[in-house]
Chain A
Amino acid sequence: MTRDRIHTPVTDELLVAYLDGELSSDERQTLESALARDEELRARLKTFQDGEQPWEEAFEGMLQQAPLEKLEADLAAAIAEGPEAVPDLASTPRSPVPRSPLPGSPLPGSPAPGPLAPGPLAPGMAAKDPGRGWRPAAVAACVAFSLLAGFGAGYGLNEAQDRQTAAAVTETEAEVWRQAVADYQALYTRETLSTALSDPLVQTAGLQRVSKSLGLALPFSVAEVGGLDYKRAQILKFGDKPLAQLAYLYEDEIPIAFCIVRLDEADRSAKSEVRSGLNIVHWVKKGYSLMLVGDLPLEDLNRFARELEGRVIWKAG
């Protein structure tokens, strides 16, 4: 049986397996005697030898690049919550993957060379997720960036800087955070959210992680608000405070963010405003400042805001 693999023509796979030391000794001997006879075969082997690379070294640096602190915190959260907190999907790693019910979808697991092939590197793509690390000091830069990117931001750069210097006196921290959130939200498109994982396990894990950082509970029902397609939850920073961002897509088109930060403002009911061209509904409950922001009519935003608030489980305090 193994000898059959050596029969002519010798495939590329066999040559590579030979170089990788994966052939049986019989196969190796057969191939080596073929190599001794066949110059063309030796040339092909040489091509694959040239494809030999310092693989391990090349990938070594990525290990240091891993966001270890975050990954460890996530793991600690998962261990602390206990595995039972997340529903296990019925499938096991080895279970056969059911076929797609839709016509025209490629089979799962089959390589899809066309769409997966890399496109040319677009410099602007580096801004694929601008939502990391919000800080008050970064607000001006964000506004500048949003103008640069051609969005109709509600505030010019100078105005934003003035607003910042005056913040200590005339502005509350709360306005600064809402402006920061709005500026970033203005940069979101449906594509920004297209890499979010739709697996409920992943989504639940994300919500769990965010809940832990905030000190309240975001059950999976916050991902099931009718009319909003839940995408992902992430923890960002506002100053030194964890800021939760739950991202949704409305009608597969309009990005909506539900954001929560603990600023210890006095509780108050919902108000609305416009920042960076986006509608915002914001309110304070149990010391948590909340906002829902997106390019939606206020009545829709208000409706979603009420629904979302009802689903958050507020802990004492």
Chain B
Amino acid sequence: MTESSDDPVKNGLSGMLPRLWRFAMVLSHNEDTAADLVQATCVRALQRSRQFQPGTHLDRWCFSIMASVWKNELRAQRIRRGGGFVDAEDVLVTDGAAKIESNILLSQVLAGVQALPEAQRSAVLLVYVEGLTYSEAAVTLDVPIGTIMSRLAAARSKLAALKLSGDEGNRRRVKAAE
């Protein structure tokens, strides 16, 4: 296949697929939905490739497209179900803990983040994992910067509590094994 090297979107998408999929999994908690979300994001990014400004971050641009697709989707689901949006929380907590990491702490962190409400875990992913600044994350998720701050503070409080109980759990386990 010949690729036109002058289209930064077309050329750049392929290398970003794992990170796009990871964000999609954090948003949706469902492998099928995540693949659809990545696909929809790619299609829309290609459609709008002329709007992309070369020299700016393609990843942030794609993240914001994905966040927008997902937000519209969430709205539709809430309307359809009369407000009772049910989150499929199973996928990453099971797969994440069992398959991904042997390291206990890392899988605890992953499970802890995945157990947060969606708004908090998307802020955590963008700022702490993808390294966006608060203001970049605010633009990406289309929310005020204060909202990013409160989501991160809430996420950190919960994970600190989790870490404490996790540490105690580990100590108990070690003791029992002796």
A-to-B contact residues, CB < 8 Å: 11-17, 20, 22, 47-48, 50-59, 61-68, 70-72, 74-76, 78-80, 83-84, 86, 88-89, 91-94, 97, 100-102, 104-106, 108-109, 111-113, 115-119, 121-122, 125-126, 128-129, 194-199, 201-202, 205-206, 209, 232, 234
Name B84-114 residues within 8 Å CB distance of A: 84-91, 93-96, 99-101, 105-107, 109-110, 112-114
In the bound assembly, the distance between CA atoms of A20 and B136 in angstroms comes to 14
Name B2-49 residues within 8 Å CB distance of A: 10, 13-14, 17-22, 25, 28, 30-33, 35-40, 42-44, 46-49
With contact pairs A51-B159, A51-B160, A74-B35 given, residues A97 and B18 touching in the complex (Cβ less than 8 Å): no
In the bound assembly, the distance between CA atoms of A287 and B118 in angstroms comes to 45
Q: Who on chain A is nearest to B96 by CB?
A: A62
Residues of A within 8 A of B112 (CB): 53
In the bound assembly, the distance between CA atoms of A47 and B32 in angstroms comes to 37
Residues of A within 8 A of B151 (CB): 111
Min C-beta distance of A118 to chain B, whole Å: 4
**Apart from A57-B106, A111-B120, A199-B73, what are 6 other A-B pairs with CB-CB below 8 Å?**
A56-B128, A76-B1, A115-B85, A116-B85, A197-B73, A202-B39
In the bound assembly, the distance between CA atoms of A202 and B131 in angstroms comes to 28
In the bound assembly, the distance between CA atoms of A314 and B10 in angstroms comes to 30
In the bound assembly, the distance between CA atoms of A65 and B96 in angstroms comes to 9
In the bound assembly, the distance between CA atoms of A16 and B105 in angstroms comes to 21
B-to-A contact residues, CB < 8 Å: 1, 10, 13-14, 17-22, 25, 28, 30-33, 35-40, 42-44, 46-49, 64-65, 67-69, 71-80, 82-91, 93-96, 99-101, 105-107, 109-110, 112-115, 117-120, 124-125, 127-129, 131, 133-134, 142-143, 146, 149-160, 163-164
Residues of A within 8 A of B157 (CB): 12, 47-48, 51
In the bound assembly, the distance between CA atoms of A60 and B131 in angstroms comes to 13
Min C-beta distance of B27 to chain A, whole Å: 11
In the bound assembly, the distance between CA atoms of A109 and B141 in angstroms comes to 9
Q: Who on chain A is nearest to B161 by CB?
A: A51
In the bound assembly, the distance between CA atoms of A244 and B67 in angstroms comes to 28
Min C-beta distance of A42 to chain B, whole Å: 15
Partner of B73 from the list A58, A94, A202 (CB cut-off 8 Å) is A202
Residues of A within 8 A of B156 (CB): 16, 48, 51-52
| A63, A101, A104, A112: most-surrounded residue (chain B CB, <10 A) | A112
